[in-house]
Structure 1
Amino acid sequence: MLASLLASLASGETVVAIRRARRAAIFYLLAGLAAVCGVGFLVAALYIWLSDLYGRLETALSFGFGFLVIALVVVMVHRLTAGSRAKRAAERRKSDLTAVGVAAALAVLPGLLRSRAGVGALLAPALAVVAYAIYRENTKPRPGPDEPSE
């Protein structure tokens, strides 16, 4: 838990979360303002309808429903773009954590190279990766159902 918190602070995740929250607040504020205007025009339309019964009613109703549609569009745009913003933030977080991991590995490397046990600890996984790569290169893939066998 603490390591995750420190990693998120080191990678700038806190700043990203604050920006995301601020952006969401602005979008919801705009949607709320449009909704308030819509309700205001609907109340004005009701007033006009009750006082006049004809004339300006259609215009007031049009404005009221128009602002409500604008509010829905603003909320939908925010919801649709939130997924791509979250994906970009996850990619950024992944690259930041990779950079932190590489930096930590490079910091530990000189200490490991000073001792025999450290060199063995480095060589064993490297040899395993090389052996696996050789194995993968030398094994033939099995023919699929569409391909004829030799």
Structure 2
Amino acid sequence: MKNKKALVSRTLCPVARSETVVGDRWTVLILRELFMRSYRFEEIQAQTGATPQMVAARLKKLEAAGLVKRHIYSKRPRRYEYHPTEKGEAFYPVLQALRAYGETWFKSPRESRAINYTHRTCGKPTALGPACDGCGQPLRREDMIAELSPAYQDEREARWEAFKAGR
């Protein structure tokens, strides 16, 4: 592992450098949850299926890399929420590209989209691209209204209920 870090630190390749922070499944899923407004450790763990140790390690790494900032929401016991920083928010288009790729290549034609977005600016549904089909403007997270499909909403609720029951 030490040799890998040394090799990556010497490379000019931005993909290799980015991969050291966001290049594993659990980190990407944690970032997905932050963008879905699941800010608390338990919510993140429930929705990703990661162990507490995996979530803690990834959040610590994301915080050290400047993608996430902790905010105390309870002093006793001490509990934190995790929110994306400006650097973390900059990962959103990457996540949207992964979403578009998954919707296009890894779903049955019978399945509906997991999340449908409406562009606040023009009020029209968005497609999977980086620009709005209705008005052509680039899509930014703060300009979109997300609506989970009933099946995806049920899936997320079932994960949360199973997590609470297993505590």
TM range (shorter): under 0.3
Q: Which has the larger radius of gyration?
A: 1
Higher relative contact order (CA 8 A, sep 6+): 1
- Normalising by the residue count of structure 1, what TM-score does the alignment of the two structures yield? 0.22
